[in-house]
Structure 1
Amino acid sequence: MGKVVLYTAKLSPPGRSVELTAKALGLELEINPVNLLAGDHLKPEFVKMNPQHTIPLIIDEDGTVVYDSHAINIYLATKYGKDDSLYPNDIATRAKINAALHFDSGVLFARLRFYLEPILYYGSVETPQDRIDYLYKAYELLNDTLVNDYIVGNKLTLADLSCIASIASVHAIFPIDKSKYPKLAAWVERVSTLPYYKKTNQEGAEELASLYRAKLEENRQKAKKLAIMNPVLYYDDASPPVRSVLLTISALDINDKIDMKWINLFGADHLKPDFVNINPLHTVPVLTDEELILTDSHAILTYLCDVYGQGTNFSLGDPKQRAIVLNRLCFNNSVLFQRDAELMRKIFRKQLRDISTHLKPVEEAIDYLEIYLKTSKFVACDKLTVADFSIVATLSTAESVCPISSSRWPKVKAWYEEMQKLPYYNDANQVGLTKLRAKLNSILNA
């Protein structure tokens, strides 16, 4: 009796059907394990043997290569069978066995594969109910087919050895209900009495079911982690409002908790359809946190404080402190930033010949800020708040064309210098400010 090499995996129902057939024939196989999850079947040396890169595959002693379990089983039974009991010579009987092999290939194993593949290989966490229903329908079809003790007649054939490998695997995941499928359940019990059945088939089926459950749980845990997505900040640090958010993120030490997506304002990224779908105002910054979309820096600042600032100096839990911080944010939004933004728009549109004649609105806004700083160390109170970040980002931009005079605005000057000493000021504000000033200078000096 020749030496036959079998490339297979214990988890593979088709592979197990070949091993069952070999046991029934009394044929010893040389087993070469193939790790499907590790991609062994995709390696060049295996694909050279089987371009379809599937298992099982056999190489006979004469070099004959056969793949597809049903073809292999027929080959082995025909060549190595001591008689024709597993694959009778009778044409009608063979036709029935062939039909059962095709039923296993096209229904039983196909439906099991389509159920398991997304979970084992592609990280799926759920399977459509219709795929489960198809498996139960396969039970029903085979149950109705069983009019005798075995699938074809009253003797064990290749039909049973092929189908039982698939059915046992499904059964380990979705147990067969004896009341609904009595003939199927009886057939499984009958075949399972084979002396080589447990080690050759049952253990592999149970191992496949265990792997399925483990992978399903692993996929679900990964999905949970992915579902907890970091908020995303759409930004261009040339923008003063963006820089106020960057200062806040640094102050709260949450840089690793915010994902950043750069929107190139000078490259008109903010006008592209994908971004406009997120923010119809086509402005930055924008913060998205799952279904929440915030399109105003001041709203973003307070949200970040509420989510990440609890228990820190940046908490806005005290109603009075929250009110004064919001008041200063409104001052920045409606007065300081609007006046600075109007001046900057005129510069970028090249509508100004003499900037000095257009500085009065900005200077008046800084006058108001000077008054605020006469009553507290920082713009809202005696401690640093997000109001300071919002205003310093705007003021540092305005200072590009309107220098802060210590004689006119001594409090503002001192506060501004104090803000520049913050350890994160350079990265969060100065870097973007430098980019903006370079663009301004290129226009002003043109």
Structure 2
Amino acid sequence: MRLSRYYLPLLKETPAEAQIASHRLMLRAGMIRQEGAGIYAWLPLGFRVLKKIEQIVREEQDRAGAVEMLMPTIQSADLWRESGRYDAYGKEMLRITDRADREMLYGPTNEEMITEIFRAGVRSYKDLPKLLYHIQWKFRDEIRPRFGIMRGREFLMKDAYSFDIDETAARKSYNKMFVSYLRTFSRMGLKAIPMRAETGPIGGDLSHEFIILAETGESAVFCDQGLINMAVPPKTTDFEGDLQPVIDQFTSLYAATDEMHDEGEFNSRVKEGDRLSARGIEVGHIFFFGEKYSKPMKAVVAGPDGGEVPVQMGSYGVGVSRLLGAIIEAHHDEAGCKWPTSVAPFHVGLINMRSGDGPCEAVCEKIYAALEAAGVEVLYDDTPARGGEKFARMDLIGLPYQITIGPRGLEAGEAEVKSRADGQKSSIALESVVADIAGKVKAELDYA
């Protein structure tokens, strides 16, 4: 993509309302624009990252055996009355009356709707288990929307729902999602720690939040340092096999948010030198809640003995749009974002230091075409801006690699390559730069 044709409205000054790094950088880098309290338009650069995050989530859900579908944003109030949650949910629910005076709502979550869809199509235990998911926009009328997309009112979420004949089978579905989440966040360059959590309005008695450590996190977290370096299951993981040993490995060490934290248990289970107290950002939440929805909504199947059995259910959420902010919180410096290659809007920023110069333009065009042919996504700065402005812009948007072409380098037959992650610069022969960068990008995208 040529920058001269792209829409990238950068801000020189940080808006006063932007209190945390991700909010500041997303506004300054032209990724989002606020359209209302807690409501944002996703501009081209931010939208590219959002779609890459969504695709990683989708791939890992598919790998775990979940089946994708799509449910509407608007739901009937009658479904929520069946479960008993319509009046209990609170003012965060946006309630709507259509022209026929039917009571509707903008879905904050989808347990009721998926239960209705399931009960209409599944009749026998022989059709179980079922694991369904969708990636859809949600709305929760936060009393104090803040921190940009981290606590907005409209947000993109992946929510999955499992249906099983008994608790043993249901816990296997829960374990699949647990492992899937570990892999999902790892692929985005995040170390997410599973922590015991309250179930809240979703319900149930088994729940884990997945938290990444960040100074701006909304939760206090307490855990064993050993969790930080624990290996994530590889992509060869057999999701139909026994995943309990993996779960046991991660849950054997102490980890809890402030809501579930027990100081006495923490001190007794974790050696003093291994105790970690920090702040964290929730990026995923999984629940097992048994018959909470299936029983009142009569989501039953014929069991092995022919009698009707309410199915055992779980739900599993990932904040897809929230993840974008979380990744920035984990990967940035004073100059701007530092995107992991897997979610970067482009892999490489190609900088022409002298637009209009024939030799510089010819070499840039050749490198641009060769990188794209090699499957590398390039943002080519072909604008007439000064060099300092081009460098600052590339640092702000945070692409993993920068290639700079200028008259001095051409005389030496070299391009300057900068790694945004560590700031290291090197000079690489022009004939080798495409293969070098393409090899690095491919290796970084070839996840474990």
Identify whether the pair has TM-score above 0.5, normalized to the shorter chain. Answer: no
Structure number having the greater strand percentage: 2
TM-score, normalised relative to structure 1: 0.25
Q: Which has the higher contact order (CA 8 A, sep 6+)?
A: 2
Largest Rg, 1 or 2: 1
Q: What is the TM-score normalised by the length of structure 2?
A: 0.25
